């Protein structure tokens, strides 16, 4: 029996103790993109073709949120029985972007409100096992409620 | 009549429903209805502008040629437009451009769809570079998730309530009662909505539009062609504006199917948000404003999104849509009825047909042919749609 953890998508976030999203930053104008990608800067005033991988802020504030009460269709791999889960759109102040993610299991709509401070964590999206008893946990970034900070 | 106006000579629909039949059958019935309405024959049509959709597992990619073949090949020129929910408006714009450029005088704009049950899901296969596939795979971010994010914003920013959202459904269900093309023709109460199950909090089943089968078609012509056929154009509806613009960088509102917005770190957000700008461009082109409108047909993918549209259309200030709804202004008989057809609430969404269907409703209203849902003295109306991949549209029709 062994368990390994892999990201459910490559290169979008780190899987360390203090995980962060990996975006892109234009080498010329300095604007940000997420998800990360190579190629042209999205700013129409900028002609740069270089987006440099960049760690994004781990903290932001809730722009909006919802809670799914029904299992989404494939290619989502819903657990059976399905457990409701929340999705949170979080605004990152420095980067000026809003990023949609799930909340950790057990954090539901009543636990959230617009403007609340959130922190990036990771959680298991789905699990696969093979005949050799090896289990693979496919990990995804999540937005978890964070302690308020004095402003 | 403005030099760039088109005449709408005919409109027709196949009723909305859920049968799972071949979409080309629906399209043919709508096309024949529009031709009969225009007093024209299929062989008179010089151009077919088809509105596309992609329906995995169903008869595939819908295009202008699909309908030309169905009606019987006549050598007619065709175009095919994909713009998600705005496909019908983009097809209209393509027909308009061809007519105004003098390449043809009379065109058919047509959209039809057959939809699977349940949530819309992406096209099959493992497509790890497609954001529409990834949003389902990584987040389970269905379309109602995005609708719910907007609904929650109205609640937390403006104090909107679940009852406000339910009242949109109550209004639209009454409007659609007498519409023979509507799929759902049953009155809903606030309690019906509040007792329906939560799908994506705070939205409930009856807050969210269904997916439907349906078809709509219209015949648009140059002024010269219509004058030759009709004589006077008095009281004949004209297309005054077709707005099919995209956002201006940075697009700072999270929209289908995105994981994140553009960044406003370096470039400040534009003066008008995307959906405001769609409607603004239509008003500018028509030389008309919100006060000139007798009605609006808007894309009520959810009840709460209808309220957003009141503000994008300039019918009221930001945060005041609930008040406008409660005043009765957007009910038939009020100052500016919204979704007199019953809207998506009563139709469900047949994607490539929907933006065409909105124009059909305006035309019937402007001709005084809307029966029990008639808006007295209707002179002008506006449509609004927005959907996947930042496609939006707004069309203004007047007499």
Q: Residue A123 sits in which domain range?
A: 2-7+57-145
In this complex, which of B152, B157, B250 lies closest to A66 when CB atoms are compared?
Answer: B152
SS3 track for chain B? CCCCCEEEEEEEEEEEECCCCCHHHHHHHHHHHHHHHHCCCHHHCCEEEEECCEECCCCEECCHHHHHHHHCCCCCEEEEECCHHHHHHHHHHHHHHHHHCCCCCEEEEEEEECCCCCCCCCCCCCCCCCHHHHHHHHHCCCHHHHHHHHHHHHHHHHCCCHHHHHHHHHHHHHHHCCCCCCCCCCCCCHHHHHHCCEEEECEEHHHECCECEEEEEEEEECHHHHHHHHCCCCCCCEEEEEECCCCCCCCCCCCCCCCECCCCCCCCCCCCCHHHHHHHHHHHHHCCCHHHCCEEEECCCEHHHHHHHHHHCCCCCCCCHHHHHHCCCCCCCCCCCECCCCHHHHHCECHHHHHHHHHHHHHHHHHCCCHHHCCCCCCEEEEEEEEHHHEEEEEEEEC
End-to-end alpha-carbon separation of chain B, Å?
9
- Search chain A and give the residue with CA nearest B254: A98
pLDDT score at B55: 61
Q: Chain B interface, mutation test: which of A66, A84, A123, A138, most B Cβ atoms within 10 Å?
A: A66
Residue B195's contacts (CB-CB under 8 Å, 6 or more residues apart) are none
The two three-digit tokens of residue B175, written as one number: 């409007």
Contact A100 B249 (CB under 8 A): no
Contact B267 A43 (CB under 8 A): yes
The residue behind tokens 């994010």 is B149
- Search chain A and give the residue with CA nearest B266: A31
**Counted domains in chain A:** 1
CA triplet B149, B187, B332: central angle to 5 degrees? 80
CA distance B291 to B336: 9
CA atoms within 13 A on the CB side of B102: 1
Residue A70 lies in a domain: yes
The residue behind tokens 């069309």 is B395
Strand partners, B6: B239
CA of B223: how far to CAs of B62, B227, B302, B360, in Å?
29, 6, 38, 19
Contact A64 B197 (CB under 8 A): no
In this complex, which of B131, B133, B145 lies closest to A66 when CB atoms are compared?
Answer: B145
Contact between B110 and B67 under an 8 Å Cβ cutoff? The reply is yes
The two three-digit tokens of residue A12, written as one number: 């979008």
In this complex, which of B202, B260, B265 lies closest to A100 when CB atoms are compared?
Answer: B260
Minimal CA separation from B145 to chain A, in Å: 7
Please state the ipTM of this predicted complex. Answer: 0.96
Minimal CA separation from B345 to chain A, in Å: 20
Strand partners, A139: A7, A124
Residue A100 lies in a domain: yes
pLDDT score at B58: 45
- Search chain A and give the residue with CA nearest B158: A114
Domains by residue range for chain B, with CATH: 6-118+213-230 (3.40.47.10), 141-207+240-398 (3.40.47.10)
Residue A107 lies in a domain: yes
Minimal CA separation from A119 to chain B, in Å: 16
From the centroid of its chain, how far is CA B327?
A: 25
Read off the CATH number of the domain in which A122 is found: 2.40.50
Residue A66 lies in a domain: yes
Question: pLDDT (tens digit, 9 = 90+) per residue, A42-52?
Answer: 999 999 999 99
Positive or negative, the CA dihedral B129, B200, B337, B349 is: positive
| Confidence label for A150 from pLDDT (cuts 50, 70 and 90) | low
In this complex, which of A30, A64, A98 lies closest to B152 when CB atoms are compared?
Answer: A64
Question: What residues of B are in contact with residue A44 (Cβ under 8 Å)?
Answer: 249
CA distance B214 to B111: 8
Residue A48 lies in a domain: no
- Rounded to 5 degrees, what are φ and ψ at A21? -75, 150
Question: What residues of A are in contact with residue B119 (Cβ under 8 Å)?
Answer: 70, 72-73
The residue behind tokens 């007047």 is B398
Contact B267 A109 (CB under 8 A): no
- Neighbour count for residue B180 (Cβ, 10 Å): 8
Across the range A59-75, mean pLDDT stands at 97
- Search chain A and give the residue with CA nearest B249: A43
Residue by residue, pLDDT tens for chain B (399 residues) are 788 999 999 999 999 999 989 889 999 999 999 999 999 999 999 999 999 877 644 445 667 888 999 999 999 999 999 888 899 999 999 999 999 999 999 999 999 998 877 777 777 778 888 888 999 999 999 999 999 999 999 999 999 999 999 999 999 999 999 999 999 999 999 999 999 999 999 999 999 999 999 999 999 999 999 999 999 999 999 999 999 999 999 999 999 899 999 999 999 999 999 999 999 999 999 999 999 999 999 999 999 999 999 999 999 999 999 999 999 999 999 999 999 999 999 999 999 999 999 999 999 999 999 999 999 999 999 999 988 877 899 999 999
Contact A98 B157 (CB under 8 A): no
pLDDT score at B59: 43
Contact A67 B128 (CB under 8 A): no
């Amino acid at each position: 029996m062994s368990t390994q953890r892999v990201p459910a998508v490559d290169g979008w976030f780190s899987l360390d103790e203090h995980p962060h999203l990996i975006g892109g930053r234009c080498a010329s104008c300095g604007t940000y993109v997420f998800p990360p990608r190579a190629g042209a800067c999205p700013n129409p005033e900028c002609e740069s073709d270089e987006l440099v991988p960049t760690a994004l802020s781990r903290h932001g504030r809730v722009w909006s949120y919802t809670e799914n009460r029904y299992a989404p269709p494939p290619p989502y791999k819903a657990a059976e029985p399905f457990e409701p889960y929340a999705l949170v759109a979080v605004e990152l102040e420095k980067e000026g972007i809003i990023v949609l993610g799930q909340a950790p299991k057990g954090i539901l709509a009543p636990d959230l409100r617009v403007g609340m401070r959130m922190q990036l964590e990771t959680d298991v999206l789905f699990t696969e096992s093979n005949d050799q008893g090896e289990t693979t946990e496919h990990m995804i970034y999540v937005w978890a409620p964070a302690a308020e900070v004095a402003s | 009549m403005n030099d760039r106006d088109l005449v709408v000579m005919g409109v027709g629909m196949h009723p909305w429903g859920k049968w799972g039949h071949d979409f080309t059958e629906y399209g043919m019935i709508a096309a024949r209805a529009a031709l009969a309405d225009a007093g024209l024959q299929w062989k008179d049509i010089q151009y077919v502008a088809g509105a596309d959709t992609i329906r995995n597992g169903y008869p595939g990619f819908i295009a202008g040629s699909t309908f030309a073949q169905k009606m019987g090949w006549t050598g007619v020129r065709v175009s095919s437009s994909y713009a998600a929910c705005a496909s019908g408006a983009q097809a209209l714009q393509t027909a308009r451009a061809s007519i105004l450029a003098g390449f043809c005088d009379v065109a058919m704009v047509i959209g039809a769809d057959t939809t699977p049950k349940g949530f819309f899901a992406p096209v099959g296969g493992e497509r790890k570079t497609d954001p529409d596939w990834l949003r389902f795979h990584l987040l389970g971010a269905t379309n109602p998730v995005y609708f719910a994010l907007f609904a929650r914003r109205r609640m937390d920013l403006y104090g909107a309530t679940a009852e406000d959202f339910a009242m949109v459904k109550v209004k639209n269900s009454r409007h659609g009662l007498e519409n023979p093309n509507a799929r759902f023709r049953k009155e809903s109460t606030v309690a019906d909505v509040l007792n329906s199950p939560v799908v994506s909090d705070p939205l409930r089943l009856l807050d969210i539009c269904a997916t439907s089968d349906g078809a709509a078609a219209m015949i648009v012509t140059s002024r010269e062609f219509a004058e030759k056929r009709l004589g006077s154009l008095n009281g004949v509806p004209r297309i005054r504006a077709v707005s099919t613009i995209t956002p201006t960088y940075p697009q700072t509102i999270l929209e289908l199917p995105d994981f994140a917005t553009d960044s406003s770190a370096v470039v400040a957000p534009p003066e008008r948000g995307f959906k405001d700008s769609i409607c603004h461009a239509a008003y500018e082109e028509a030389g008309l404003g919100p006060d000139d409108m007798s009605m609006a047909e808007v894309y009520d993918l959810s009840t709460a999104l209808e309220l957003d549209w009141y503000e994008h259309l300039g019918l009221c200030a930001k945060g005041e849509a609930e008040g406008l709804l409660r005043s009765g202004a957007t009910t038939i008989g009020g100052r500016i009825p919204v979704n007199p057809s019953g809207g998506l609430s009563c139709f469900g969404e047949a994607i490539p047909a929907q933006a065409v269907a909105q124009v059909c409703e305006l035309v019937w209203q402007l001709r005084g042919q809307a029966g029990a849902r008639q808006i007295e003295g209707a002179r002008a109306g506006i449509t609004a749609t927005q959907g996947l991949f930042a496609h939006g549209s707004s069309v203004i029709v007047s007499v």
